[in-house]
Structure 1
Amino acid sequence: MDCKGEPVPKKAKTVRSAGKVMASVFWDAKGILFIDYLEKGKTINGPYYASLLDQLKQKIQEKRPGLVKKKILFHQDNAPCHKSVIAMEKINELGFELVPHAPYSPDLAPSDFSLFPNLKKFHAGKKYGSDSEVIAATNAYFDELDEKDYRDGIKGLEHRWTKCIQLEGDYVEK
């Protein structure tokens, strides 16, 4: 009881949800090629990203064997680890053709306008007891998407790029 004779309100016991899990998602018009979940306490730097690119090349060979002898168009944003000397050397070594990404244009990254908004809605309000539960739920979410969802995301890049040019570099989504 407090000093006025009223009972003290009970506090609800809360269960902490798992923290954030950093994922690097590599995908194309047919679906997910692979997802890397960053280990807690690690950061993505040039060498780490270059190792992801090696893994991507391997996954392309496994999942898209028809592309092995073709030029791979590769799109990434301008994050420092993506633009590092070691990452750029790896992109050249692997024979990827880098599709340019305008500076300060998050609305031109297909993951940001296509994949991640609905993934965020999927996770909204859910509580996970561990990172492995978050990862399993995320993998299940991507497994349930249709090829059309991925294809539409890639097609959206062309539309947004055209709109960005029309807007003379201004944000597409305002």
Structure 2
Amino acid sequence: MEYRHKTSPSPRKFKVVASARKVLFTVFWDMEGVVQMEFLEQGQTVNSERYISTLRALKLRLRRVRRDKDSILQHDNKYLKGHHYDNDEEVIADVRRWCRGQSSEFFANGVRQRVKRWRLCVDSDGDYVEK
């Protein structure tokens, strides 16, 4: 119920639009390329239990694909920002295609940038560091 003056215009009704669905994917990569990629199923959330499961799977994968190597891992999901898809399968296919299309230098540069930021952070005693 709404109180208004008799001459006031009628209240506007807004269209109800279904909220955009989002697909969360997590990719771990090092200087050689993608180590593990995981897509979160619809209706699932990232909580401690889920993340522990992801990290355990990552540990097993590292043993298989990066045997006897130390890796600095980058964990990112920024590629999808601003992209729109009709369904989950399109998202997954595009992300996989994008990852396969990146050169090893792309991944190496990403890790090098991370190391530079760590150094800046350490040098500034943990204060905020701009990119």
Q: How many residue pairs are counted as aligned between the two chains?
A: 114
Give unpaired runs (5+ residues) of structure 2: 1-17
Question: 4+ residue stretches of structure 1 with deviation over 4 A?
Answer: 72-75
**As a proportion of its length, which structure holds more helix?**
1
CA deviation map 1:46-69 (0-9, x unaligned) = 2221211221122213322333xx
How big is the shift at 1:32? 0.8
Q: CA deviation at 1:38?
A: 0.7
**Aligned partners of 1:150, 1:36: CA distance in 2, in Å?**
18
In terms of mean alpha carbon deviation, does 48-57 or 162-171 score higher? 162-171
Structure 1: gaps spanning 5 or more residues: 1-15, 76-109
Cα distance in 2 for partners of 1:23, 1:146 equals: 20
Q: Identify the match of residue 55 of structure 1 among 54, 57, 66.
A: 57
Superposed CA deviations along residues 77-96 of structure 1, whole A, max 9, x for unmatched, are: xxxxxxxxxxxxxxxxxxxx
**2:118 aligned with 1:161:** yes
Paired position in structure 2 for 1:36? 38
CA distance in 2 between counterparts of 1:66 and 1:166 reads 31
**Conservation of the 8 A alpha-carbon contact between 2:72 and 2:111:** no
User: Structure 2: how far apart are the matches of 1:44 and 1:166?
Assistant: 33
Length-normalised TM-score, structure 1: 0.55
CA–CA separation in structure 1 for the residues paired with 2:109 and 2:72: 17
Cα distance change on mapping 1:159 and 1:127 into 2, 3 Å: closer
2:98 aligned to 112, 116, 141, which one?
141
SS in 2 for 1:158: helix
What residue is the counterpart of 2:128 in the other structure? 171
1:132 and 2:111 equivalent?
no
1:1-174 equivalent positions in 2, closer than 5 A? 19-67=21-69, 110-111=74-75, 116=78, 119-120=79-80, 124=82, 126-173=83-130
RMSD of Structure 2 on Structure 1 (CA): 2.7
Letter in 1 for 2:113: G
Identity of aligned residues (%): 32
SS, match of residue 140 in structure 1 = helix
8 A Cα contact 2:121 2:127, kept in partner: yes
Secondary structure of the structure 1 residue equivalent to 2:27: strand
Change (3 A) 1:60 1:19: same
